[in-house]
Structure 1
Amino acid sequence: MNTLLLMTIILFILMRLVGGKKGTKSFIALFLNFGVLLVTIILMSNPSFNLIILTFIACLIISIINLFYVNDINTKTKTAFISTLITITTLFIFILIITEKAMIQGFGGEEIHEISIFSLYIGIDFVKLASSVIVMSTIGAIIDIAISISSPMRELSIHQPTISRSDLFKSGLSIGRDILGTSVNTLFFAFFGSYLALLIWFKDLSYSLSAVINSKIMSAEMITILFAGIGVTLVIPITSFITAYFLVKKERG
């Protein structure tokens, strides 16, 4: 506990020194996001609640915290918020279909051994649960990409007030292309880093490459990574279009 407290204090000091007032807000937002996730998990355990609706509401609140609380209410945060909601809604449609077709819901054989003493009849739709996990895993990256595009686009429109909507949209795409590769790689290594011990276990158990790729755990992880990549890719043109539309409309409408 002392180690956790010490690291929390160090993180706060660094965020305060580097980010100033906004750094402090970002630090507080971490705990607010944790609170949202905790409440969502508690509500998910109640079969009477719809997991998809709960997840969407949680994503909505997390977006409000990270955009409006941390970065205040302005044009760039409003367009980033709208873009995030559109992207999440689009992802949900595809995720529900793919999750059911791929049969990645539930637990893999490697996990069953650890929880075999517990009952799995918990009254929750595991297809919707798997979809919720994927969306919650990508919401942070989608918000980050959205604000990373809308913010420089707003600055560009301020310094070049005569820029056309088409040119501003192209500038947003150009900004998105610069951060797309690093964002996808960050998601890739973050997800695989969390399953590094499992991969070593697969190796020690002499799993063949085909067995590893076709295992439910690995398939679920790969699908999560792919959807995360799809999400951060989709949000780029969506944010660019919406930001360009509202900025030019506001400046000259």
Structure 2
Amino acid sequence: MNVLVLLSIILFALMAIIGGKKGVKSFIALLLNFVILLGTVLVMNDPNANPIWLTLIACALISAISLFYINSVNSKTVMAFISTIVTLIILLAFIIVMTDQSMIQGFGEEETDELVVFSLHIGIDFVKVATSVIIMGTIGAIIDTAISITSPMREIHYHNPSISRKELFLAGIRIGRDILNTSTNTLFFAFFGSSMGLLMWFKDLSYSFGEMVNAKVFNDELISIFTAGMGVAIVIPIASGMTAHYLVKMSKKNNHAK
């Protein structure tokens, strides 16, 4: 049996046993998100397509599936979805400028030997592709942080409906601060784990520290991780503020209706 199929079966079994119905839905959502990512990459091959717009649409679909399909439509998922989209929009201009100025698009000199037999004139703007890669790399961390803030904030408001908007906002910020450390550490550990072979390759090539940190193949991954960390930090006050405003507003509205 193919190893990937076997691992998929084990993952599905574990998610179903431990997560129950929600675990099964999470596995299905994972497959749907994979299909969306694969479809986005295939459509990007069209020279007339704009990779950035395609990526933003894909991120919106991934966010909707990850939040609404698994956790249904409610105040916590709606606020998490909106705060995710707002954070991506805020990061977009920075990512475009940073990608263009850092010149991380395309391939590094270490990869040219393997590409020498291929034509690189494929009619695709690699700056936009690099921007799309960074945006796609941030979406998972932002969604996870957003729902991790809005969900406990809704519980706090449910058990203490008289809480003020400011107190609820500060509670969200405190929750976000606890999440920020673990989320950023997870991003960096994932980077170094996936790049271990690259770092060993640099060592075998006798790269100095300066040559290593200036290598394009190293920088594009590291910049993506830094941007994802920025997204995690930015979404905390956005999700906290929007959720606090919405919950307190709806609470006052319901009290007036009574």
TM-score norm. by structure 2 comes to 0.96
Distance in 1, matches of 2:14 and 2:132, equals 33
User: CA offsets per residue over residues 150-187 of structure 1, 9 Å max, x none?
Assistant: 00000110000000010000000000000101100111
Specify the alignment match of 1:74 in structure 2: 74
Amino acid at match of 2:225: I
Distance in 2, matches of 1:7 and 1:213, equals 35
Distance in 1, matches of 2:48 and 2:191, equals 31
1:217 and 2:217 correspond:
yes
User: Which secondary structure state, in structure 2, belongs to the residue aligned with residue 197 of structure 1?
Assistant: helix
The Cα of 1:58 is off from its aligned counterpart by 0.3
Specify the alignment match of 1:89 in structure 2: 89
Distance in 2, matches of 1:59 and 1:236, equals 19
Specify the alignment match of 1:133 in structure 2: 133
User: Which secondary structure state, in structure 1, belongs to the residue aligned with residue 121 of structure 2?
Assistant: coil
Amino acid at match of 1:63: S
Distance in 2, matches of 1:234 and 1:73, equals 24
Specify the alignment match of 2:195 in structure 1: 195
Distance in 1, matches of 2:171 and 2:42, equals 43
Any unmatched runs of 5+ in structure 2?
Answer: 254-258
TM-score norm. by structure 1 comes to 0.98
Any unmatched runs of 5+ in structure 1?
Answer: none
Q: How does 1:133-212 map to 2 (within 5 A)?
A: 133-212=133-212
User: Which secondary structure state, in structure 2, belongs to the residue aligned with residue 97 of structure 1?
Assistant: helix
Amino acid at match of 1:225: I
Amino acid at match of 2:63: S
- Bigger mean CA deviation after superposition, 109-118 or 196-205: 109-118
User: Structure 1 stretches (4+) deviating beyond 4 angstroms?
Assistant: none
Amino acid at match of 2:72: D
User: CA offsets per residue over residues 180-235 of structure 1, 9 Å max, x none?
Assistant: 01100111111222121111010011011110011111121221111011000000
Amino acid at match of 1:69: Y
Specify the alignment match of 1:99 in structure 2: 99
Specify the alignment match of 2:251 in structure 1: 251
User: Which secondary structure state, in structure 2, belongs to the residue aligned with residue 207 of structure 1?
Assistant: coil
Specify the alignment match of 2:50 in structure 1: 50
Distance in 1, matches of 2:117 and 2:191, equals 28
Distance in 1, matches of 2:38 and 2:3, equals 22
Distance in 2, matches of 1:114 and 1:154, equals 53
- Bigger mean CA deviation after superposition, 145-154 or 189-198: 189-198
Distance in 1, matches of 2:2 and 2:39, equals 26
Give the percent of matched residue pairs that are identical in Structure 1 and Structure 2: 60
